[in-house]
Amino acid sequence: MSPRAVVVGPPGAGKTTVGELLAAELGLPFRDVDADIVRTVGKPISDIFTQDGEQEFRRIEEQAVLAALAEHDGVLALGGGAVLSAATRLLLADHPVVYLSVGMAEGVRRTGLAANRPLLVGVNPRATFKALLDARVPLYQEVATVEVDTDGREPDEVVRAVIEALTGQGGQ
């Protein structure tokens, strides 16, 4: 069993929204690793970060990604930081990975620098978001089979671009 598409990208890229719509369009099931983690651990991700720390969250996330890649045959959305794990990046090499890119201004607008996004809470959330993009964009690009820009696009437009990109008809 193997996902038909694995969706990655930073906070605000639309991984869950686009993933759900893509799965519906393709007639496939959708699975979100962040939702798996919340269900398994029994508390919100922000609480895991606060109470257990980022290192423990990343350990849990790595195991959740491993399980989902082995068990799911539809569209799979990963958390924004899942690509930080070298083991996860290695696993993704065998799967079609869709990187949903988002610019800083659009990402900040979409996330609203929400408190439920633990890595965006701080003294200067915009600088934090920029640092997050700077660190992760090369990793998203490393694992990506296709990259689709989400800036200025509605979710259904992004889904069309993803399908075109996955079927080799272009797509940026």
Known binding-site residues for Mg(2+) equal 16
Beta-carbon contacts of 109 under 8 Å, excluding residues fewer than 6 positions away, are: 12
Q: Give buried/exposed letters for 77-92 (b at 16+ CB in 10 A, else e).
A: bbbbbbbbbeebbebb
Beta-carbon contacts of 172 under 8 Å, excluding residues fewer than 6 positions away, are: 147, 148, 149, 161, 165
Known binding-site positions = 12-17, 34, 58, 80, 117, 136, 153
Round to whole Å and give the CA distance between 134 and 45.
23
Known binding-site positions for substrate = 34, 58, 80, 136
- Measure CA 35 to chain center: 12
* Residue 43 host element (H or E): none
